[in-house]
Each structure stands twice: as C-alpha cells, then as structure tokens.
Amino acid sequence: MTFTLPRGYAFFITFLMGMAFLVLGLLVFLLPEADQPALTAPLVITSVIFSLFWCVPVARDRANGKVDWFHPSILYLIVYFSYFIFSGILLWVFHGYNSIWVNLGHRPAFIVNTVFCLGLLATFSFGLGMRLKPLWPGRTILELFNHSSLLNWKRLRYLIFAFLVIGAAFKYYHLSLLGPLTVNILRYLSPSANRGLGISVSQFYIMLESMLDWAALLVVFYFIVRYKQTRRINGWWQILLLMIFVAFFSYIVSAKRSGILPLFLLPLIWYHYILKRLTIGRAGIYFLIGMSLVIGLLMARIVLPLLAQNLILTDYIGSNRSEIAAFYADSGEWATFDMITASVLHRDNLLAEIGNPIAGFFNYSFNTLIVFIPRAIWPDKPLYEDISHIYYRVFIDQYGSTGFSPTIWGTSFLFFHILGLVPGMFVLGWLLKSAYAIFQLQNGRPIGVFYYSIFYWMAFQFMRFGTTGFTLLFFLQSMAAGVLALFFVLRQKNVAYPTQQNRLN
C-alpha cells in the first residue's frame, strides 16, 4: 500500500483548507469568547487535513513516486500531531479549555484557538522551506566531510567487543550506586526517588555507558549489511536477546525512554533504507508499536516503583481503564500544548526569568557545554539548567528541578515572537530538506543511512524539546559514541558495503 493521491488533488485540497483557515482565523479574532468554542473543531480538522496534504507530498520520491516514511517532513507531522494537535485536543475536549498547568486567563477558548492558528501558520511556513532547493545540491555526507565509503569490518568486530566490555562496566557501576541489586532498586525508576539519592554521575561516565547500547546497535548494523550482501543471516535470536538485555539494563539504570527507543528506531531506519522500504501499512504498524512502547515505558516508570514499595496501584493511577487513561493524559508528557500557550500568553514572565530574548537564546543554546567541565577545574560551576526547567519553575514550583517540554513551537515564539515561529519554521524546513539531501539515501549506502538514523533521532529530540542546548547534551551523552565508532572503522573509498571479495568473515 502506497500513498498515490495525484498531485493535482493534493494541491486542490491544500488550497481549499488554506482558504478555510483564512476564514476561521479571521473569525477567531472577531468573535467574542462565547462563540470561540464553535471554532475549535473546524480549526483542528482544517489543521490536520492541511498539514497532511501539505507535508506528505514533499516526502514523495521523485524516482518512484512513493512516500519515504522517514522523511523529515513526515517526522515533523509525527511531532506536530502528537505534541501539538493531540495535546491541544486533550486541553480542549477533556479539560474544557482549562489547563491544569497554566492559567489561560479570562479568554481560554480564544487563546487555544489562537495557538492552533499559529501552529498551522508554522506548518505552512515549514512546508515552504521544504520546497526550496537544498543548500548543498549534489553533495553527499561523505564528500562534505571527506570520508571514505568502505568499512573495516574486522576492526568493527573488535570495536563492538571493546564497546561491550567498557559500556557494561560503566553501566554496572552506575547501577551499583542505586544500592543492592534487589527488587527495591525499581523504586529509583521514579525520577524524584532517583534525585533523592543525590547521586552525581560524570557526563563522561554517561558517554562511556552509552557504549553498551552502541555495541548492541553496531551488531545489528553489521548483520543488516551482511544480509544485504549475502541474503543469509545466522544467530538472529542471539541478537534479539542481546537487544532485550541491553534495553532492560539501560532502562533500569537511566529510567529514560530516550535511552531505549534508539535501540529499536535506528535498526528500523537501517532496515528501511538498506533492505526494504516500508509501506504505509507497515509504517503505521511500527508507529503504533512505537507509541505503545512510549506509553508502556512511561507507565512502567510510575507503576514499578509503587509495586516495589508494596503500595496499592489503584490509589495512584486509578481503578479502571478510563481513570488510568485520564491519569496518563494528565501527565507532563502531554503538557506540550499548554507550554506553547504559556509562551504566547505569559511570554513576559518567562523572559523575566531568562533575561532578554537574544541573551536567553544563546544561553540555552550553548550553556550545555559547562556540564563537561570538571568541578576540580571550575569549583563554582553553575548547575546545568534547560529552558524546560524555567517553564516548570514559573508555572508549577519555583524550587522544582524537573521540566516541561515547550517544543520547537514554544521556544521559537518565546525567543523571537512571530518572527521565530513563522520565518524560523521556514528556515528549519529548508535546513532539514538540505540535510536529508546530503545523505543520499536513495542508493541505500550503509554509511549514509547510519549517519541519517542518528540525525533523524536528534531532529526529533530538537523538535520535541525546542532547544539546541539540550539536543547537543543529549547527542554527546548518547549518540557521540556511535558517530566516533563509525569514524574509527572508515577506511578506503569506492565501496559502501562488503562484497564477495571483501568478506564479512
């Protein structure tokens, strides 16, 4: 099953939805608060249809007309539908325009409708950027960085073993800091309980821990490329067991879904480009599996600590499906639309915490690097702070140490108002289009695919959290080891994956 709607129809529907949006947007700013609720449903429907027919055609491969479901424009839709539209629907339908996190003032329906309008404008601007010519036409990732295109497979096998030993040792050390290896250790899946231990782990330790995850990922990469050449694969169940073990180990240590999802997402991207492209049906199935994993891991982080303390679950998360669903919907996971409304309605209050917009932008884009400076060198080094912590402190607890994700829409508006949201999303679309082009994914070369999978995951993190500072920190903590590994095993030119003359064994 493929996306085959003729381009003429797509343009017509996009144009029709654009005209509908202009009318709805005008009504939003003309009608009183009492009439605003009647506009929300049409705005949401218009936003969904417009964004689909505006962004999906950009992802169509010119050679075969099929949609690439790992294209940046599809990634944008995933983030937009999840953290903007769905989160906004929760605020509108389940909370009646009354946010449990942010005070929306005396015209809440108007504010919600306004934010939906801004989101559609941002999507339109993003799609325009996606339609520009790439910044580096005809260039490839290897040419830009002057790398070879042949991997030293023997060196890669040695590297996997080294990563396995080093990563496991440092991850076990981190785990030992939580206490004896008993069921009680599950208590520390709770972020608040974990923070209560007062454990301080060096960022370099965290980078070394990620080598265990990359050992497992490099094994999968090795076997995918091997299967591409030989159409034979042995030991797949050992690989599966290794991935499950590493995923479980990493989750117990970090309690972060962002440490688990790449173990499944990156191999899926490799499979998609190196072996067989996903159809819309399979892409939909994998998306549902991914969402189930996201939900399940978050709930496990809540449920397992309660069970470890012999507490009654129904006292905390509800006693039936509707109560459990309401509990999950009201978690900070889906407070993203609320934070975007906060950027619009309480921009001055937020800026008062971070200084002027320009200084705040540079501060929260580059202050990440201070976490890698040892306190032995800088004893008075300030604690790392992300923009998400500011949102939490302003609206929830001024002494809190957690954070809310404001998304790329929230931070763009916060720092540069409408110029950040509309021209900014135009630039983002252009940059993502340019980056996608240089990986030359159409030929399925493993090196380009490997780099792109990391880029894709980081682009998701950037759009969800909205700051380059956090994205850079996350990259150094979890992805840098993989990038360096591939640098280490690159050698001569001309061949992208092993041939019969360059045997894998």
C-alpha gyration radius of the chain: 24
User: Is residue 214 domain-resident?
Assistant: no
Q: Give residue 89's pLDDT.
A: 95
Cα separation, 198 vs 178, in Å, equals 10
Predicted confidence (pLDDT) at residue 231 exceeds the cutoff of 90: no
Here the tokens at position 67 are: 């949609």
User: Is residue 116 domain-resident?
Assistant: yes
Q: Give residue 148's pLDDT.
A: 53
Count of domains forming the chain: 1
pLDDT digits (tens, 9 = 90+) for 98-155: 999 999 989 999 999 999 999 999 999 999 999 998 887 666 665 555 455 567 778 8
Q: Give residue 309's pLDDT.
A: 80
Q: Give residue 502's pLDDT.
A: 41
Here the tokens at position 81 are: 């539908």
Q: Give residue 107's pLDDT.
A: 94
Going by pLDDT thresholds of 50, 70 and 90, the confidence category of residue 400 is low
Lowest mean pLDDT among 150-154, 424-428, 462-466: 150-154
- Tokens 């899926």 locate to 268
Judge whether 404 and 335 are in contact, CB under 8 Å.
yes
Average pLDDT score over residue span 5-12:
66
Which ranges in 65-107 belong to alpha helices (H)?
A: 72-80, 87-89
Domain of 119, in residue numbers: 7-140
Cα separation, 385 vs 161, in Å, equals 36
Q: Give residue 331's pLDDT.
A: 79
Cα-based angle 451, 456, 459 (whole degrees, multiple of 5): 125
Cα separation, 278 vs 273, in Å, equals 9
Contacting residues for 423 by C-beta, under 8 A, at least 6 apart: 125
User: Is residue 135 domain-resident?
Assistant: yes
User: Is residue 65 domain-resident?
Assistant: yes
User: Is residue 120 domain-resident?
Assistant: yes
Cα separation, 285 vs 185, in Å, equals 34
Position with higher pLDDT, 297 vs 463: 463
Average pLDDT score over residue span 299-322:
81
Cα separation, 113 vs 123, in Å, equals 15
DSSP 452: H
Here the tokens at position 122 are: 């941002």
Which of 152-161, 229-238, 333-342 tops mean pLDDT? 333-342
Q: Give residue 145's pLDDT.
A: 53
Cα separation, 468 vs 73, in Å, equals 19
User: Is residue 81 domain-resident?
Assistant: yes
User: Is residue 150 domain-resident?
Assistant: no
Judge whether 464 and 168 are in contact, CB under 8 Å.
no
Judge whether 59 and 69 are in contact, CB under 8 Å.
yes
- Coil, helix or strand at residue 344: helix
Q: Single out the residue of 496, 482, 491 nearest to residue 160, CA to CA.
A: 482
Cα separation, 121 vs 47, in Å, equals 9
Tell how far CA 254 is from the center of its chain: 17
Judge whether 224 and 146 are in contact, CB under 8 Å.
no
What's the chain's average pLDDT? 85
Full-prediction pTM beyond 0.85?
yes
User: Is residue 23 domain-resident?
Assistant: yes
Which of 138-147, 177-186, 343-352 tops mean pLDDT? 343-352
Predicted confidence (pLDDT) at residue 65 exceeds the cutoff of 80: no
Judge whether 115 and 410 are in contact, CB under 8 Å.
no
- Coil, helix or strand at residue 67: strand
Lowest mean pLDDT among 14-18, 370-374, 424-428: 370-374
